[in-house]
């Protein structure tokens, strides 16, 4: 009989994890509040449940993939949550990009119930998870990480035990700060090249071989050029991450001027109806800022 793995949250990341696990022969038992996501899991070959409690009744190990730590707590501690199961699960692997302090609190709360908890954040889009190209950054007790290493090998290209509980979330936030700015810089550069009249695919091929290269070019440049914004990671998700990043920056008295500008652009993108689009849709926000020149003057003033 196939080993059973629970999955709470069948969004972009959760669905990609389910696909990886099913492909490796695991029996995936899942729950989501959205019926269409349950239908998706069932179509893939998973087993759907009507509550987190029901999933926990069937599985010793659960992946959790939700929008924030508050939602994680509700599905764990709610009246029909994971802890309401007849037999509580052994291990929870939380891939949610959450608040580090709240994550540590959850680790201690679950520990008092003899449930092991890892904050196992992911660097990579749902497409990269599906192709086993994502990287896991895992915070938690080393013995628990070691026990789950086979699962991490299945769902990721590489994984790192980055330290004590909460460090998975901290590492993901710092990583996302850099990733988001790389993506925003690419978007701004593409719009500038576009306004200069350059052929964008040719321009991208050139900068792949210059110090301007970043992995954002590989994952987002074609989508930006083709204006193809089916979500692999959403504008609203990354704006939420920036909210947490800037909250901690304020506590640490650490100015993050570029991140402040980036967050402002994402807030404007959400207001423009782009919240559920792929994060690379930031390029449209930058295009929206473009002003059509009244003359064809060169920058030097010599037309």
Q: Residue 98: CB partners within 8 Å, gap ≥ 6? A: 68, 69, 72, 119, 169, 244
Q: Which of 109, 140, 163 is the last residue of a domain?
A: 163
Mean pLDDT of 107-125: 95
Residue 173 confidence (pLDDT): 96
* Counts for the chain of helices (H) and strands (E), in that order: 14, 8
Domain at 180, CATH number: 1.10.1040.10
Residue 299 confidence (pLDDT): 53
Token pair for 85? 């199961």
For residue 301, pLDDT over 50 is answered with no
Residue 124 confidence (pLDDT): 86
Q: How confident is the model at residue 125 (pLDDT cuts 50, 70, 90)?
A: confident
199 and 220 in a common domain: yes
Phi-psi region of 140 (alpha: psi -120 to 50; beta: other; left: phi over 0): left
36 and 127 in a common domain: yes
Q: How confident is the model at residue 296 (pLDDT cuts 50, 70, 90)?
A: very low
Read off the pLDDT of residues 266-278 as tens digits, 9 standing for 90 and up: 999 999 999 999 9
Mean pLDDT of the chain: 93
97 and 154 in a common domain: yes
Range of the domain at 149: 4-163
Residue 294 confidence (pLDDT): 42
% residues pLDDT > 90 (the chain)? 90
230 and 133 in a common domain: no
31 and 146 in a common domain: yes
Token pair for 266? 């994402």
Read off the pLDDT of residues 42-92 as tens digits, 9 standing for 90 and up: 999 999 999 999 999 999 999 999 999 999 999 999 999 999 999 999 999
Q: Which of 143, 163, 183 is the last residue of a domain?
A: 163
185 and 95 in a common domain: no
Number of domains in the chain: 2
- Residue that has been written with the tokens 């990671």 in this structure: 233
214 and 148 in a common domain: no
Q: Which of 124, 147, 163 is the last residue of a domain?
A: 163
CA distance 246 to 207: 31
> Which is nearest to 127 in space by CA: 30, 266, 230?
230
The answer to whether residue 294 sits within a structural domain is no
Indicate the pTM of the whole model.
Answer: 0.89
Residue 4 confidence (pLDDT): 96
Read off the pLDDT of residues 2-53 as tens digits, 9 standing for 90 and up: 799 999 999 999 999 999 999 999 999 999 999 999 999 999 999 999 999 9
For 35, list phi and psi in degrees, rounded to 5. -65, -35
67 and 205 in a common domain: no
Residue 99 confidence (pLDDT): 94
Read off the pLDDT of residues 203-239 as tens digits, 9 standing for 90 and up: 999 999 999 999 999 999 999 999 999 999 899 999 9
């Amino acid at each position: 009989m196939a080993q059973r793995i629970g999955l709470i949250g069948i969004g972009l990341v959760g669905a990609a994890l389910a696909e990886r696990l099913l492909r490796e022969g695991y029996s995936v038992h899942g729950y989501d509040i959205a019926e269409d996501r349950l239908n998706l899991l069932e179509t893939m070959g998973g087993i759907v449940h009507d509550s987190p409690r029901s999933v926990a009744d069937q599985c010793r190990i659960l992946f959790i993939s939700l929008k924030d730590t508050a939602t994680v707590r509700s599905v764990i501690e709610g009246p029909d949550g994971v802890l309401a199961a007849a037999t509580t699960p052994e291990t929870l692997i939380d891939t949610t990009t959450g608040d580090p302090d709240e994550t540590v609190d959850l680790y201690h709360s679950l520990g008092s119930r003899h449930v092991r908890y890892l904050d196992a954040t992911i660097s990579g889009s749902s497409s990269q998870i599906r192709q086993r190209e994502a990287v896991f950054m895992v915070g938690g007790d080393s013995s628990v990480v070691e026990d789950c290493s086979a699962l991490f090998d299945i769902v990721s290209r590489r994984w790192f035990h980055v330290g004590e509980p909460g460090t998975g979330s901290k590492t993901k936030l710092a990583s996302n700060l850099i990733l988001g700015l790389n993506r925003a810089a690419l978007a701004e550069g593409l719009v500038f090249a576009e306004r200069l009249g350059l052929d964008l695919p040719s321009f991208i091929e050139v900068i792949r071989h210059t110090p301007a290269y970043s992995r954002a070019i590989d994952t987002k440049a074609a989508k930006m050029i083709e204006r193809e914004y089916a979500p692999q990671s959403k504008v609203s998700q990354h704006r939420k991450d920036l909210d947490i990043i800037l909250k901690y920056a304020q506590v640490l008295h650490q100015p993050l001027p570029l991140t402040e500008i980036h967050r402002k652009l994402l807030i404007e993108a959400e207001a423009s109806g782009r919240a559920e689009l792929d994060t690379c849709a930031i390029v449209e926000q930058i295009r929206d800022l473009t002003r059509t020149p009244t003359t064809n003057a060169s920058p030097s003033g010599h037309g």
